[in-house]
């Protein structure tokens, strides 16, 4: 059985038994069950010298016990047929860069000759269209980052092999980040490849000659152009590969707004996820070129090896615990937990109770701040410990300044306070710093407790709302502070006495300024009128 070979852009045929990509690992053949005639044929079974083919083999689910996972699922081309005006799939001579790559390959289906798929004649006029689906709010708003270099590579390779080829590249902006990439662009222009700044509006086809015409504008020369072409090559956006979302749900890792996997920290831990032992690399994080992908693959492999080499996981006990006597059937905490560490156990008769996985729990306390029954607490930061700490640090104020409680998260919030100290910045001595794992742990009644304990003002100091080290804590704290302000008004306490601040860890100057500002504000407000004695 022979069918068009998808790997070779359907420019060649392959058998129903095939190995589509020579460097594939492991180098074994596959059977295309959509075309195989199985027992009506059995030619491959007869031919195989090692009797390796079992035609009755059935798909099976296999459970593999692993200590670490590296996710390298890559990206794929955006479906260009979505953009109707480019007629991909309607006109055979409109192809994508991936399909052109097979033609450019000397070992490919055309032996390196660039042909029009419609008639296999050499293509002499080639138009590249950049940003097909990328940087387009209708489809994918982001820049796919590598398509300019891919088109430049193809255009220069073709021009070097066929200097008489007439090649134009229609672009919005040519982006050549990377070492020596700009020289590549310069070289392409020197070779005579034409660059037209403008996004083409339509590709049409002369029904008689089969020639394509690309309607575009030249934004630099302010004129409309009709570019004739034998072959149009689209540079589609790069999108997450199929199944990325489903796999993210299974593994419990996050995806970003564009559907790619989210790293733990783009600068410092770019191949780690929020889950220990699960690493990501390459195009699964965002489209990138081969050298960067290779670099990330090395990083992920080394991290996985280092993780496994220890042979054991050391996990501290700073985790959440559930008081089963209070836990009701509300289901809030499993949804809130950024680490999927809380599950619900069926207790029968339509009742269930929350259960925390000590291995997955990172001890942020976001569940504590969310639980309406006060049924969860952190082992290392129990409510009574927090109250005792609050009372302790607010018990004495020898300065004339109003006493301020700054409740800081252990990450950016507290580090910003440290940064202000290290930079010898000044803030009022009456500001008392209390550290919590994440501002997401806070509950509204704790703000009232702070006022009750003697604070004239309360600052909640956390990470940026999209930069919380525990994902959602800072956003949740922001909402709680807003709600608490309304309640404070009800209790006759000026809402300006409570404020949330969100900093990056190096913003010590901003913390010092905020503390100064709060102090000035409280002085103007005067003493808290409705203060209840401790």
Contacts with ligand FES by CB under 6 A lie at 409, 411-413, 438-440, 462-463, 468-470, 473-474
Nearer to ligand FES, 236 or 413 (CB): 413
d(CA 274, CA 269): 10
- Characterize 119-139 residue by residue with b for buried, 16 or more Cβ atoms within 10 angstroms of its Cβ, and e for exposed: eeeebebbbbbbbbbbbbeeb
Q: Provide the minimum distance between the beta carbon of 364 and ligand FES in the complex, in angstroms, as a whole number.
A: 7
Nearer to ligand FES, 206 or 482 (CB): 482
| Cα angle for residues 258, 264, 266 (degrees, 5° grid) | 70
* DSSP string across 315-357: --S--EEE-TTT--S--HHHHH-TT--EEEEEEETTEEEEEE-
Nearer to ligand FES, 409 or 518 (CB): 409
Residues near 109 by Cβ (< 8 Å), separated by ≥ 6?
5, 8, 9, 11, 12, 102, 103
- Per DSSP, the three-state class of 467 is coil
Measured distance between the N- and C-terminal CA atoms of the chain, rounded to whole angstroms? 87
d(CA 201, CA 214): 8
Q: Provide the minimum distance between the beta carbon of 437 and ligand FES in the complex, in angstroms, as a whole number.
A: 7
Q: Provide the minimum distance between the beta carbon of 413 and ligand FES in the complex, in angstroms, as a whole number.
A: 5
Residue 179: Cβ within 10 Å count: 7
* DSSP string across 99-110: HHHHHHSTTSTT
- Characterize 76-86 residue by residue with b for buried, 16 or more Cβ atoms within 10 angstroms of its Cβ, and e for exposed: bbbebeebeeb
Q: How far is CA 139 from CA 101, 135, 459, in A?
A: 24, 8, 42
Sign of the alpha-carbon torsion through 289, 295, 296, 297: positive
Q: Provide the minimum distance between the beta carbon of 473 and ligand FES in the complex, in angstroms, as a whole number.
A: 3
Q: Provide the minimum distance between the beta carbon of 485 and ligand FES in the complex, in angstroms, as a whole number.
A: 18
Q: Provide the minimum distance between the beta carbon of 384 and ligand FES in the complex, in angstroms, as a whole number.
A: 22
Q: Provide the minimum distance between the beta carbon of 412 and ligand FES in the complex, in angstroms, as a whole number.
A: 5
Nearer to ligand FES, 8 or 474 (CB): 474
Nearer to ligand FES, 148 or 500 (CB): 500
Sign of the alpha-carbon torsion through 284, 288, 289, 293: negative
Is 142 exposed, middle or buried, given 0-12, 13-18 or 19+ CB atoms closer than 10 A?
middle
Nearer to ligand FES, 77 or 272 (CB): 272
Q: Provide the minimum distance between the beta carbon of 17 and ligand FES in the complex, in angstroms, as a whole number.
A: 55
Nearer to ligand FES, 200 or 473 (CB): 473
CB 140 within 8 A of CB 258: yes
Nearer to ligand FES, 211 or 262 (CB): 262
Residues near 133 by Cβ (< 8 Å), separated by ≥ 6?
78, 80, 82, 83, 139, 140, 236, 237, 239
Nearer to ligand FES, 404 or 460 (CB): 460
Query: What token pair was written down for 382?
Result: 């129990």
Nearer to ligand FES, 278 or 416 (CB): 416
Q: Provide the minimum distance between the beta carbon of 434 and ligand FES in the complex, in angstroms, as a whole number.
A: 14
Q: Provide the minimum distance between the beta carbon of 440 and ligand FES in the complex, in angstroms, as a whole number.
A: 6
């Amino acid at each position: 059985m022979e069918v068009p070979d998808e790997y070779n852009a359907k420019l060649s045929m392959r058998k129903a038994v095939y190995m589509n990509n020579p460097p594939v690992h492991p180098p074994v053949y596959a059977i295309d069950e959509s075309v195989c005639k199985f027992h009506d044929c059995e030619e491959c079974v007869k031919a195989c010298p090692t009797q390796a083919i079992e035609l009755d083999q059935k798909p099976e689910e296999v459970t593999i016990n692993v200590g670490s996972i590296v996710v390298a699922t890559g990206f794929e081309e955006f479906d260009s047929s979505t953009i109707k005006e480019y007629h991909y799939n309607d006109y055979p001579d409109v192809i994508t860069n991936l399909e052109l790559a097979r033609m450019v390959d000397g070992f490919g289906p055309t032996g390196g000759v660039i042909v029009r798929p419609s008639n296999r004649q050499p293509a002499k006029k080639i138009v590249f269209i950049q940003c097909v689906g990328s940087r387009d709010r209708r489809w994918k708003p982001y820049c796919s980052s590598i398509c300019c270099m891919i088109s430049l590579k193809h255009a220069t390779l073709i021009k070097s092999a066929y200097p008489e080829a007439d090649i134009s590249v229609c672009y919005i902006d040519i982006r050549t980040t990377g070492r020596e990439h700009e020289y590549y662009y310069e070289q392409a222009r020197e070779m005579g490849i034409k660059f037209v700044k403008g996004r083409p509006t339509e590709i049409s086809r002369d029904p008689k000659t089969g020639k394509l015409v690309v309607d575009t504008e030249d934004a630099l020369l302010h004129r409309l152009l009709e570019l004739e072409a034998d072959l149009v090559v689209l540079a589609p956006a790069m999108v997450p590969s199929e199944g990325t979302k489903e796999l993210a749900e299974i593994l419990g890792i996050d995806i970003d707004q564009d559907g790619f996997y989210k790293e733990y920290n783009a600068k410092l831990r770019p191949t780690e996820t929020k889950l220990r032992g699960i690493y990501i690399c390459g195009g699964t994080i965002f489209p990138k070129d081969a050298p960067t992908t290779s670099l990330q693959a090395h990083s992920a492999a080394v991290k996985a090896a280092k993780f496994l080499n220890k042979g054991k996981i050391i996990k501290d006990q700073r985790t959440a615990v559930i008081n089963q006597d209070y836990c009701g059937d509300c289901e809030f905490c499993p949804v809130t937990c950024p680490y999927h560490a809380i599950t619900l156990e069926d207790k029968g008769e339509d009742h269930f109770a929350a259960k925390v996985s000590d291995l997955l729990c990172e001890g942020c306390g976001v569940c504590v701040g969310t639980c309406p029954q006060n049924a969860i607490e952190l082992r290392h930061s129990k409510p009574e410990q927090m109250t005792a700490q609050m009372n302790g640090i607010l018990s004495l104020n020898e300065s004339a300044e109003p006493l301020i409680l700054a409740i800081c998260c252990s990450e950016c919030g507290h580090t910003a306070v440290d940064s202000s100290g290290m930079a010898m910045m000044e803030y009022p001595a009456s500001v008392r710093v209390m550290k919590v794992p994440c501002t997401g742990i806070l509950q509204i009644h704790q703000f009232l407790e702070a006022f009750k304990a003697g604070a004239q003002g309360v600052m909640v100091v956390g990470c940026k709302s999209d930069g919380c080290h525990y994902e959602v804590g800072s956003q949740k704290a922001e909402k709680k502070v807003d709600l608490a302000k309304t309640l404070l008004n009800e209790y006759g306490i000026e809402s300006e006495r409570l404020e949330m601040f969100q900093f990056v860890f190096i913003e010590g100057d901003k913390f010092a300024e905020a503390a100064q500002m709060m102090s000035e504000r409280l002085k103007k407000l005067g003493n808290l009128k409705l203060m209840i004695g401790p």
